[in-house]
């Protein structure tokens, strides 16, 4: 399929929705703008404000506040939306903080995913996928992708419904529904944005954007403080099963937790009602805690990235994975099959004893 065919149904509003796309880049390049005007002219003041909003919303809410642009959206609004994207990348690159870069990339990916879900025209989905090296094709009311692409994109996705054995695989092609195809595109957007950041920025860019950069850094620091200093309130850690206590202790001692262990700990805490910040606060006890990595992993597990909320593993999985530590007498009962069962039993008995 040639480029003309890929973009046959592409309209100006799509440039604003997908500002990383080739047509959007061509559009900007045809405007023949100077960097100086982008950074300091009054004409692009709104675009700079929107760029700042993109980054701050990414920090605070994990979104970039993308507005759905239609054929009726006035040209200046569309232009601001498109131009705000490269400007936002410049802001992020000037600060060059790993946590910010990951959070921003994730927020942009989230935005693309939300827009794609709203697209009725499959050709737009395929054009965006193609931009990112993912060829999709409509077949039998499904979207097919090559199984090599599928494996490469899903390698870090641990949910069973992403395992190749659980896919409709025929003659080297994986048949997906629209939401799963969009999920793959989202993963690609995230990694592509991450790969390119930080871009190279010179002193003139830093100087011109210094006011915005100071504001963004202030928000960033506030967010990091919030994660690390979070008060856990009335968490009944004493009632946790031995496995979960053991995992918390290990990571507090700076021991490396396996993927299975992190998954078990995060999904357990999430299931009993911890929010993302509280889970990060638990992980922040580790001496080598990195808020950016912890945040990314946690967001994956609690469903912010994949929209799949994972169920904590049962005792069988924990035993097989070598993370069932020092089981006690309650663990030894014949009905004990899950750390959540352990916790609810303890909570119930605790409240009965208080009554």
Contact 150, 181 (CB under 8 A): no
Q: For ligand SF4, give the closer residue by CB, 125 or 247.
A: 247
Residue from 129, 132, 114, 135 nearest 17 by CA: 114
User: Considering only residues 157, 235, 252, 331, which one is a binding residue for ligand SF4 as defined by CB under 6 A?
Assistant: 331
| Closest distance to ligand SF4 from the beta carbon of 242 (Å) | 4
Binding characters for ligand SF4, 237-276, by CB under 6 A (x = yes): ----xxx---------------------------------
Q: State which of residues 159, 285, 327, 345 lies at the interface with ligand SF4 (CB under 6 A).
A: 327
**Which residue number, 290 or 326, has a Cβ lying nearer to ligand SF4?**
326
- Rounded CA gap, 317 and 84, in Å? 47
Residue 321 within binding range of ligand SF4, rule CB under 6 A: no
Compare residues 116 and 244 and give the one whose CB is closer to ligand SF4.
Answer: 244
> CA-to-CA distance for 12 and 122, rounded, in angstroms?
17
Q: How many residues bind ligand SF4 (CB under 6 A)?
A: 11
Only one of the segments 10-18, 19-27, 152-160, 331-339 lies at the binding site for ligand SF4 (rule: CB under 6 A); that segment is: 331-339
Contact 324, 243 (CB under 8 A): yes
Question: Biggest alpha carbon distance in the chain?
Answer: 75
Place of tokens 């009335």: 234
Query: Is residue 176 within the footprint of ligand SF4 (CB under 6 A)?
Result: no
- Token readout for 201 is 């920025």
Are the CB atoms for 78 and 15 separated by under 8 Å?
Answer: yes
Which class for 175: exposed (0-12), middle (13-18), buried (19 or more C-beta within 10 A)?
middle
Which window, 31-39, 117-125, 204-212, 324-332, contacts ligand SF4 (CB under 6 A)? 324-332
Count of alpha carbons within 13 Å of 41, Cβ hemisphere only?
8
**What is the closest distance, in whole angstroms, from the C-beta atom of residue 341 to ligand SF4 in the complex?**
7
Closest CA to 25 of 70, 104, 89: 89
Smallest separation (angstroms) from ligand SF4 to the CB of 324:
3
Strands of 142-146's sheet in order across = 137-139, 142-146, 173-176, 168-170
**Under rule CB under 6 A, residue 315 binds ligand SF4:** yes
Q: Which region among 152-160, 180-188, 200-208, 235-243 touches ligand SF4 (by CB under 6 A)?
A: 235-243
Which helix (H) or strand (E) covers residue 252, if one does? helix 242-252
- The SS3 of residue 156 is coil
Which residues within the stretch 32-91 sit at the binding site for ligand SF4 (CB under 6 A)?
none
Report the interhelical angle of 259-271 vs 242-252 (nearest 10°): 120
Among the listed residues 115, 150, 181, 342, the single contact to ligand SF4 using CB under 6 A? 342
- Residue 274-313 contact track with ligand SF4, rule CB under 6 A, x = bound: ----------------------------------------
| In the complex, least distance from residue 263 CB atom to ligand SF4, rounded to whole angstroms | 13
Binding site for ligand SF4 (CB under 6 A): 241-243, 315, 318, 324, 327, 331, 336, 339, 342
């Amino acid at each position: 399929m040639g480029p003309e065919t890929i973009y046959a149904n592409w309209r100006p509003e799509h440039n604003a929705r997908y500002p990383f796309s080739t047509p959007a880049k061509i559009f900007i390049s045809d405007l023949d703008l100077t960097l100086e005007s982008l950074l300091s002219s009054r004409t692009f003041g709104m675009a700079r404000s929107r760029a700042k909003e993109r980054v701050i919303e990414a920090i605070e809410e994990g979104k970039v506040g993308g507005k759905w642009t239609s054929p009726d959206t006035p040209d200046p609004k569309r232009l601001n939306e498109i131009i705000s994207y490269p400007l936002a990348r410049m802001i992020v690159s000037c600060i060059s903080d790993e946590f910010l870069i990951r959070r921003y990339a994730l927020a942009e990916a989230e935005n693309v995913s939300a827009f794609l879900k709203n697209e009725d025209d499959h050709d737009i989905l395929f054009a965006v996928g193609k931009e990112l090296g993912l060829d999709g094709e409509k077949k039998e009311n499904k979207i097919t992708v090559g199984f090599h692409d599928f494996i490469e994109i899903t390698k870090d996705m641990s949910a069973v419904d992403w395992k190749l054995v659980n896919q409709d695989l025929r003659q080297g092609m994986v048949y997906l529904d629209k939401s799963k195809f969009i999920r793959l595109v989202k993963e690609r957007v995230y990694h592509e944005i991450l790969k390119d950041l930080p871009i190279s920025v010179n002193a003139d860019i830093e100087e011109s954007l210094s006011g915005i950069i100071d504001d963004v850094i202030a928000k960033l620091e506030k967010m990091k403080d919030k994660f690390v200093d979070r008060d856990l309130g009335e968490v009944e850690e004493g009632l946790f099963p031995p496995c979960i206590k053991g995992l918390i202790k290990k990571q507090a001692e700076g021991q490396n937790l396996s993927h299975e262990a992190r998954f078990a700990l995060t999904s357990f805490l999430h299931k009993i009602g911890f929010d993302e910040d509280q889970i990060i606060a638990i992980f922040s006890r580790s001496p080598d805690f990195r808020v950016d990595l912890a945040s990314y992993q946690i967001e994956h597990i609690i469903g912010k990235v994949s929209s799949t909320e994972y169920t904590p593993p049962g005792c069988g999985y924990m035993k097989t994975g070598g993370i069932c530590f020092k089981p006690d007498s309650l663990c030894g009962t014949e009905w004990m099959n899950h750390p959540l069962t352990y916790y609810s039993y303890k909570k119930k008995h605790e409240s009965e004893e208080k009554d």
